[in-house]
């Protein structure tokens, strides 16, 4: 679904526009993913694993805009795409249609301005409106900013998996599984 543009004033007084990325944003969205995944080991991809072409990204965006329940919300500052968050159904099968997953990431230069919190708030509100009953995610246990953000918005940890990801230097990171009930 398409989230129409909303204006927000950030903690530092700067203005951000929040809206669903559209086909014209495909290249910017790919660049954002490459930058963001190179700035932290706390997301699943390495930059070289962002492999979609601009055309494939446009297809992804079009499908996402046409999806009745799932959506992305990107944040733009001075026209630059600096963050993105998404809500995605776990599966379309009847027994699990009440469950959604959430993903969120902000480019490092824009951390701490309130963008993550804003995206989270709108994602949770819209997910509930779209009929989802619970939002689930997993997060590196040592990712304090993300774990704090999730706790602030009502997520609780229901499990932990050891060695959930292994980085190029051979070190392992554990993941928390977190859940928020929307009802
Ligand atoms: C986690 C992330 C999305 C937070 O986004 P952000 O825009 O910097 O967060 P905000 O400024 O909106 O802060 C919202 C809340 O997050 C938490 N938070 C943010 N930065 C924090 C930090 N450095 N330390 C502790 N808590 C922090 C706080 O609870 C904060 O609320 P508060 O301002 O009332 O204290 C951002 O750090 C990020 O994109 N990190 C890299 C990608 C990533 O790890 N994504 C999650 C993968 S599961």
Which of 21, 6, 41, 35 has the alpha carbon at shortest distance from 110? 35
Q: Is the pLDDT reported for residue 93 higher than 90?
A: yes
What mean pLDDT is reported for the chain?
A: 98
- Please tell me whether residue 64 adopts helix, strand or coil conformation: helix
Strand-strand pairing, 172-181 and 134-140:
antiparallel
Which helix (H) or strand (E) element contains residue 116?
A: helix 115-129
Q: Is any ligand 1 atom within 6 A of the Cβ of residue 152?
A: yes
Q: Is any ligand 1 atom within 6 A of the Cβ of residue 41?
A: no
All structural domains of the chain: 6-133 (3.40.630.30)
Question: What pLDDT score does 74 carry?
Answer: 98
Burial class (CB in 10 A: 0-12, 13-18, 19+), 65: middle
Q: Is any ligand 1 atom within 6 A of the Cβ of residue 105?
A: yes
How far apart are alpha carbons 22 and 29 in whole angstroms?
Answer: 9
Give the residue, out of 149, 152, 154, 164, with the most ligand 1 atoms within 8 A of its beta carbon, to mutate for a pocket test. Answer: 149
Strand-by-strand arrangement of the 172-181 sheet:
6-9, 15-19, 71-77, 80-89, 99-106, 134-140, 172-181, 156-166
Predicted confidence band of residue 67 (pLDDT cuts 50, 70, 90): very high
Question: What pLDDT score does 183 carry?
Answer: 84
pLDDT digits (tens, 9 = 90+) for 6-53: 999 999 999 999 999 999 999 999 999 999 999 999 999 999 999 999
- Please tell me whether residue 171 adopts helix, strand or coil conformation: coil
Q: Is the pLDDT reported for residue 161 higher than 90?
A: yes
Contact 127, 87 (CB under 8 A): yes
Give the residue, out of 111, 112, 121, 145, with the most ligand 1 atoms within 8 A of its beta carbon, to mutate for a pocket test. Answer: 145
Query: How many CB atoms lie under 10 A from the CB of residue 144?
Result: 10
Q: Is any ligand 1 atom within 6 A of the Cβ of residue 42?
A: yes
Contact 132, 175 (CB under 8 A): no
Share of the chain above pLDDT 90, in %: 99
Span from the CA of 38 to the centroid of ligand 1 (angstroms): 17
Q: Whose CA is nearest to atom 41 of ligand 1?
A: 105
Span from the CA of 172 to the centroid of ligand 1 (angstroms): 22
């Amino acid at each position: 679904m398409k989230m129409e543009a909303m204006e927000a004033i950030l903690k530092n007084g700067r203005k951000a526009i929040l809206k669903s990325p559209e086909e014209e944003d495909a290249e910017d969205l790919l660049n954002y993913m490459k930058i963001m995944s190179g700035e932290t080991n706390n997301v699943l991809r390495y930059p070289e694993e962002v492999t979609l072409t601009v055309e494939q990204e446009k297809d992804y965006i079009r499908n996402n805009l046409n999806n009745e329940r799932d959506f992305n919300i990107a944040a733009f500052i001075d026209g630059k795409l600096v963050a993105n968050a998404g809500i995605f159904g776990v599966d379309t099968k009847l027994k699990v249609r009440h469950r959604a997953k959430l993903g969120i990431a902000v480019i490092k230069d824009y951390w701490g301005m309130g963008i993550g919190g804003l995206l989270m708030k709108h994602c949770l509100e819209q997910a509930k409106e779209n009929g989802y009953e619970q939002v689930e995610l997993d997060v590196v246990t040592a990712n304090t900013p993300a774990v704090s953000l999730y706790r602030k918005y009502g997520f609780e940890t229901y499990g932990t998996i050891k060695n959930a990801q292994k980085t190029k230097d051979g070190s392992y990171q554990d993941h928390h599984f977190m859940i928020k009930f929307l009802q």
